[in-house]
Amino acid sequence: MWSNLPLFPAGASSMAGHVDALYFALVAITAFFTILISVLILFFAVRYRRKRNPTATQVPASTTLELLWTGIPLGIVLIIFVWSSVIFFIQTRPPKGAMEIYAVAKQWMWKFEHPEGQREINQLHVPVGRDIRMVMTSQDVIHDFYVPAFRIKADVLPGRYTSTWFRATVPGRYHLFCAEYCGTQHSGMVGEVIVMEQADYERWAASGVEGSLASSGEKSFQQYGCSMCHRSDAAGRGPNLVGAFGRPVLLDDGRTVTADESYIRESILNPGAKISSGFKNIMPTFQGQLSEEEVIGLVAYIKALGSGSANPPLPVSEPNSGAYPVAPKTEGSAAQSDTAVTPPEKANPAKSAPKQ
Amino acid sequence: METATAPVEPKTNYLNADYGIKSWLLTTDHKRIALLYLISITVFFFVGGFFAMLIRLELLTPAGDLVLADTYNKLFTMHGIVMIFLFLIPSVPAVLGNFLVPMMVGAKDLAFPKLNLASWYIFITGASLIFYAILTGGVDTGWTFYTPFATTFSNTNVVTAAIGVFIVGFSSIFTGLNIIVTVHRMRAPGMTWRRLPLFIWSNYAASVIMVLGTPVLAITLVLVALERLFHLGIFDARLGGDPLLFQHLFWFYSHPAVYIMILPGMGVVSEVIPCFSRKRIFGYNFVAISSIAIAVLGFLVWAHHMFVAGISTYAALIFSILSFFVAIPSAVKVFNWTATLYKGSITLETPMLYAFAFIGLFTMGGLTGLFLASVGIDLHVTDTYFIVAHFHYIMVGGMTTAYLGGLHFWWPKITGKMYPESFSKLSAVLVFVGFNLTFFPQFLLGYLGMPRRYHAYPPEFQVLNVLSTAGASILAVGFLMPMIYFAWSLQYGKDAGPNPFRAAGLEWMTSSPPPTFNFDETPVVTWEAYNYDQIDAPNEGVKVAG
C-alpha cells in the first residue's frame, strides 16, 4: 500500500482545470494566513515571554487597524466569490446540443440509459470530448452522482429530475461514487465511468441495441394510450406534444412554465399540478403504473417529437398514433369531451425493454 | 450571605455547604448544576469518542471488515448525535457558562435557578431516550436525519432518537433563556455592557441562537416523526412532499448550531489570552460586536449545505456570498487575539497552550470554510472527507480545544485545586499533534474524492486513512489524560487559592471554590474588563483577591 499514496486527484473533464485553479488559489490563501497567524503567535510568545518582557505594555485600540483587517479579508472573499460564481455558472449551464444520458438511482445501484438505447448498470460509457448532460432521478431516497475526476457532483432526488453535465477530456476509467448517504450499502453504490474514444464509443453504443430510448418511449406512448388524447392534430383532448419540448407553456392559472424534463415528468405522474391553459383536468395519474425507466423513455420520445431528429413524428390522422402537428395550443380543443380517459391497466406486460 | 468573610480554611463553599445525594439532585445552585452537566457530558464525550475509535479502526483497511455495513452506519450516526447534541452544544454554555455567567456579571445565581435544574433533568431525559434508541438497535440515518431515508426507508429507531433530540433541545432553550435574562437583569452595580467580559458576550450571542434556532429543529423532528408514523407526505416525494423542505428546515437550525458550538469557545479564548499575556484585549468593541454579527449572519447561510441538493442557481449564489461574509467577523476575532499578544508579558500555562491551539486550528477550519462557501469548489468537495475535516477543525480543533482550555483555566476556581502542570501541558500538545494527524489527511482524502460515510473505500485511499487512524489514537490519549489528572487533582492537587493566575474578572475575586452565593458582598464594578495593567501595578487600581 505504501507505493500508492496519491495526494491529488486525476483531472479528466473540462471542469477540472477551472476547479483546480481556484482550489490552488484558496490553498495559497489558507496557507498564507495560517502561517501568518502561527508565525505571529510564536514570535510574540518568544519575543514577549515574561522572562524577557516582565511588564506588558498596553497598546491602545486602533480603529484603522480594525478597519484594515475587516476590509482586506472582505476584499479577498469578494474576489473568490466572483471567481467561484463564474465556475458555478459554467457548471450549471450545459452547452447546447449536449448528448443526454438518463440515470435512475436506487438503493444501491446506478442505471443508465443512453439515447441510442444502450442500458447499463454501475458503468457509464461516454465518448471523450463530447458534452454530456446527465438527467437523473431516484426511485427511493436521495443519492448523489459524483465523479471526482470530473469535479462534479449532483444530488439525485426522488420525484424530480436533477441534472449536471461534463465533457470528459482523457480516456480512461474513473470512480463513480454515490456521495449522499443512502443506507446500508451506501459505500457499495459505486461504479465507474469509462471514457472512450469517439469511434470506440459509437461501436459500443451500436452493439446489441433493440432500439433507441425514444423508440422505446414511443412504444409506451402507444401502450398506455397516451396517443388517444395527445393527438397530432388539433382534435385531441390533451395538448399536442409535437414541438412542445423546451417551449413555454401557458398554464390555466396564468403562470408560464417551460416544458422541460421535470415538467413532462410531473405532467405524467401528477397531471393536475400544472394544467395547460385551455385544457381540462381530465388526465388520470400514471403514478405507480410507470417505472422511472418508462417515464424516461416517454420524456425522450416527447423530446424527440420536439426536435424532430431522433424519431420522426408519426402520421397525423391516425387517432391512435402518438404524434401531433405543430400547433402548440388550440383554444377549446379540450372541450370536446368531458369523459376522463382511463389508462389501460398494464394491459401489455411485455415491456419494451427488459427490466433491470 | 451564609458565609462571613473568613479567609482561614475550612471556609464554607458550594461544595461543602451541604452533603448527600439529595443536596446535589435537588440543588438550584448554578455551580452544582454546572458540575452535574460536567459529569454527564464527560460520560457522553467518551461514549461518542468510543464510537469514533470504532469508525477509525474500521477505516484502517479499505474493505469493510471490522463491523457490518449497518453497524458502521449506526456508529457514525450515533457518534454525530451524541457528540453534537449531548456534548458540543451543552459543553461550554451548560458547564462553563452555567458556572461562570452569574459570577462574571456579579450575581448570586442565574435568573431562573429552578429552570436551570429543570434543564439538566430534561437533558438527562432526552439523553436517556437517545441511549435507549442506541441500546435497542441504534439509528442509521446520519445525525442529519435526511428524508425520505429517515421517514420512509430506514428501519431503525428513528422516532425514538428524534424525540430524544427534541427533548434535549428544551434543555438548551432553558439554558439560553437563563443566560440571556441573567446578562440583562442581574449584572452587578457598575457592570455595564461594555465592561462585560467577552465570554459573556459570546455566550449571550450563542444563547440567542439557542432560543431562536432550537424550536425550528424541534418542529422539524416532530414532522419527521409524524411522517414516519402516519405517512403525512411532508417530505416524501411519493406522498407529494418535498425532500428539500426537510433540508431547509434542518439546516436553518443546524448551521447556526455550529455557532452555538463555536461562539462560547471563542469566549474562553478571549479570557485566556489577555490573562497570560497580561494585556487588555485588543479591540474589545470589535470582538464583542463580531460575536453578535456571527450570530445574526449565522442564521442567513443555511442553504450552503445544499449547493448540490438541487436548489436554484441564484439561491446558491446568495447563500454563497452570505457564507463568505460570516468569515469576516471570525477573521476579526483571530486578528484581535493575535494583536493582544503584541508587547504582552507572555507565559505558556496549559490554558494558554490550548488557546494557541484553538487559534491555529480554528484559523485552518475557518479558511477551509471558504472552499465550501465557493460554490464552484463545493460541488467537488461537499459530502467528501474534506467537509468532515473542515467541521472537525471547527468543532474539535476549535470548540473542544477551547472547552478543555477553559476547563483548565477555571478548574482551580471550580474545585479549589490545581491540576498538575506538566501532565496538562503534555496533554495539550498531544491533542494538538494528534488532532492534526487525524484530520489533516482527511482534507487530502476529500479533494481526492473519498465520500464521507463510506464503510469500505477504494484501496488508493488507504495510506491517508491509516495516518488518520494513527492520529486518532494519539488524540484519544490526549483526551483521556485530563480525565485522569483532573480526578487526581481533586484529592492531591495543590490548593489553588482564589486567583492562581492573577486573572481579571469578578469570578476571581471570590474564594475558590466560591461560596454558595458566589460573593460575600455584592461587588461594585468600577473598572473595564481585562484591567491587567491595574492588576499588575502594585500600588494602585483595583484590589485583587489573593
Whole-complex ipTM: 0.91
- Answer yes or no: is A1 within a domain: no
Instruction: Report helix angle A63-92 to B350-373, nearest 10.
Output: 40
- Among A219-223, B5-9, B382-386, the range scoring the smallest mean pLDDT is B5-9
What is the distance between the alpha carbons of residues B424 and B323, in angstroms, rounded to a whole number?
37
- Contacts of residues B273-276 at CB distance under 8 Å and 24 or more positions apart, as own/partner, are B273/B337, B273/B340, B273/B341, B273/B352, B273/B355, B274/B340, B274/B504, B274/B530, B274/B532, B275/B351, B275/B409, B275/B501, B275/B502, B275/B503, B275/B504, B275/B532, B276/B346, B276/B347, B276/B348, B276/B349, B276/B351, B276/B352, B276/B355, B276/B501
d(CA A53, CA A44): 11
Out of 3.40.50.620, 1.20.210.10, 2.40.30.10, 3.40.50.1820, the CATH code matching B21-536 is 1.20.210.10
State whether A171 and A200 are in the same domain. yes
Residue A297 is predicted with a pLDDT of: 87
Residues 6+ apart with CB under 8 A from A272: A281, A283, A285
Q: Taking the mean position of all CA atoms in its chain, how far away is CA B266?
A: 10
Check CB contact under 8 Å for B536 and A49: no
Mean pLDDT score of chain A: 83
pLDDT digits (tens, 9 = 90+) for B267-325: 999 999 999 999 999 999 999 999 999 999 999 999 999 999 988 899 999 999 999 99
A113 and A199, same domain (yes or no): yes
In this prediction, residue B9 has a pLDDT band, given cuts at 50, 70 and 90, of low
Cβ contact (<8 Å) for A30 and B328?
no
Give the per-residue SS3 of B161-202.
HHHHHHHHHHHHHHHHHHHHHHHHHCCCCCCCHHHCCHHHHH
Is A151 close to B380, i.e. CB distance below 8 A?
A: yes
For A64, the closest chain B residue by CA position comes to: B283
Q: How far is B37 from chain A (nearest CA, A)?
A: 33
> Which residues in B494-510 are b (16+ Cβ under 10 Å) and which e?
eebebbbbebbbbbbbb
User: Residue A316 has what pLDDT?
Assistant: 37
* Residue B428 confidence class, pLDDT cut points 50, 70, 90: very high
- CA–CA min distance B226, chain A (Å): 18
Same domain, A329 and A234: yes
CATH number, residue A240: 1.10.760.10
CA distance A23 to B446: 12
State the Cα–Cα distance between residues A38 and B275, nearest whole angstrom.
20
Q: Are residues A230 and A331 in the same domain?
A: yes
Pair A245, A320 in one domain: yes
Interface test with A, best of B454, B530, B531 (most A CBs within 10 A): B454
Mean pLDDT to the nearest integer, B32-45: 96
Q: How far, in Å, CA of B363 to CA of A31, rounded?
A: 10
Range of the domain at A314: 213-336
| pLDDT tens digits along A115-173 | 888 889 999 999 999 999 999 999 999 999 999 999 999 999 998 899 999 999 999 99
Give yes or no for a contact between B151 and B235, defined as CB atoms under 8 angstroms apart: yes
Residue A160 lies in a domain: yes
**Cβ–Cβ of B146/A40 closer than 8 Å?**
no
Q: Which three cell numbers stand for residue A119?
A: 442500458
Q: Which residue has the higher pLDDT, B147 or B35?
A: B35
List C-alpha distances in Å: A265 to A78, A262, B25: 39, 5, 60
Query: What is the number of domains present in chain A?
Result: 3
Q: B146 and A180 in contact by Cβ < 8 A? A: yes
What is the predicted pLDDT for the residue at A239? 85
Partners of residue B374 in chain A, C-beta under 8 Å: 22, 26, 80-81, 83-84, 87
Find out whether B524 and B188 touch, Cβ atoms under 8 Å.
yes
Strand duo A99-106 + A131-138: pairing: parallel
A342 part of a folded domain: no
Strand segments (E) across B43-87: none
Average pLDDT, chain B: 93
> Domain check: are A88 and A116 in the same one?
no
Tell me if A344 is assigned to some domain: no
A220/A315 same-domain check: yes
- Among the listed ranges A179-183, A290-294, B429-433, B477-481, which one has the minimum average pLDDT value? A290-294
Torsion sign over Cα A292, A295, A300, A303: negative
Structural Rg of chain A based on CA atoms: 28
Q: Which ranges of chain A does DSSP label H, i.e. alpha helix?
A: 14-47, 63-92, 198-206, 213-223, 226-229, 261-269, 292-307
Which chain A residue has its CA at the smallest distance from B367's CA? A30
CB distance A37 to B338 below 8 Å: yes
Q: How confident is the model at residue A323 (pLDDT cuts 50, 70, 90)?
A: very low
> Would you say A181 and A155 are in contact if contact means Cβ atoms under 8 Å apart?
no
- Residue A133 placed within a domain: yes
The beta-carbon neighbor of A59 closest among B244, B282, B454 is: B282
Residue indicated by cell numbers 456534548: B87
Look-up: residue for cell 436517556? B128
Hey, are the CB atoms on A6 and B279 less than 8 Å from each other? no
- Domain annotation covers residue A278: yes
CA A220 to chain B, closest CA, distance in angstroms equals 22
What CATH number does the domain containing A135 carry?
2.60.40.420
For B318, the grid coordinates are: 446568495
Taking CB atoms and an 8 Å limit, are A73 and B331 in contact across chains? yes
Most confident by average pLDDT, A174-183, A226-235, A345-354: A174-183
Q: What is the pLDDT of residues B500-511, one digit of tens each?
A: 999 999 999 999
Question: Which of helix, strand or coil describes residue B389?
Answer: helix
The whole-number average pLDDT for the span A1-14 is 78
Least confident of A325-339, B147-161, B333-347, B529-543: A325-339
Whole-number Å distance between alpha carbons of A148 and A331: 50
DSSP B474: H
**pLDDT tens digits for range B245-283:** 999 999 999 999 999 999 999 999 999 999 999 999 999
Query: A83: which 3 cell numbers?
Result: 471567481
Give the pLDDT band of residue B3 (cuts 50, 70, 90): very low
Residue B215 has pLDDT above 90, yes or no: yes
User: Does residue B344 belong to the interface with chain A, where contact is any CB pair within 8 Å?
Assistant: yes
**CA B104 to chain CA centroid, nearest Å:** 19
B 121-150 residues inside an 8 A Cβ radius of A: 140, 142, 146, 148-149
Q: Among candidates B468, B402, B482, which has minimal Cα distance to B435?
A: B468
Quote the percentage of chain A above a pLDDT of 70: 85
pLDDT at A280: 85
pLDDT tens digits, residue range B389-401? 999 999 999 999 9
Listed residue (B249, B165, B262) closest to B213, CA to CA: B249
SS3 assignment, position A153: strand
Q: How far is CA B355 from the centre of its chain?
A: 14
Which pLDDT score is estimated for A263?
87
Instruction: Determine the residue among B374, B386, B444, B532 to mutate to test chain A binding: the one whose Cβ has the most chain A Cβ atoms within 10 Å.
Output: B374
Task: With beta carbons under 8 A apart, name residues in chain B contacting A89.
Answer: 313
Q: What is the pLDDT of residues A57-94, one digit of tens each?
A: 999 989 999 999 999 999 999 999 999 999 999 998 89
Contact A77 B244 (CB under 8 A): no
| A142 and A228 housed in the same domain | no
A290, A269 Cβ separation under 8 angstroms? yes
Q: Are strands A119-121 and A109-113 parallel, antiparallel or unpaired?
A: antiparallel
What is the predicted pLDDT for the residue at A4?
65
Q: Are residues A69 and A144 in the same domain?
A: no
Cell matching residue A228: 388517444
- Residue A51 pLDDT exceeds 90: yes
Same domain, A320 and A246: yes
The answer to the question of residue A115 being in a domain is: yes
Give the mean model confidence (pLDDT) for residues A325-354: 38
Contact A53 B533 (CB under 8 A): no
* Cβ distance of A178 and B451 shorter than 8 Å: yes
Lowest-confidence segment of A14-28, A288-302, B86-100, B175-189 by average pLDDT: A288-302
Q: Are residues A239 and A290 in the same domain?
A: yes
**Residue A4, in any domain of the structure:** no
Phi-psi category of residue A117: left, alpha or beta, with phi > 0 → left and psi -120 to 50 → alpha: left
Q: Is B309 on the interface with A (CB under 8 A)?
A: yes
Instruction: Mark whether A268 and A332 lie in a shared domain.
Output: yes
Of B325, B379, B533, the CB nearest to A153: B379
Lowest-pLDDT range of A231-235, A262-266, B201-205? A231-235
Q: What is the mean pLDDT of residues A233-241?
A: 80
Residue B65 has pLDDT above 60, yes or no: yes
3-class SS of residue A261: helix
Q: Looking at residue A124, what DSSP letter applies? A: E
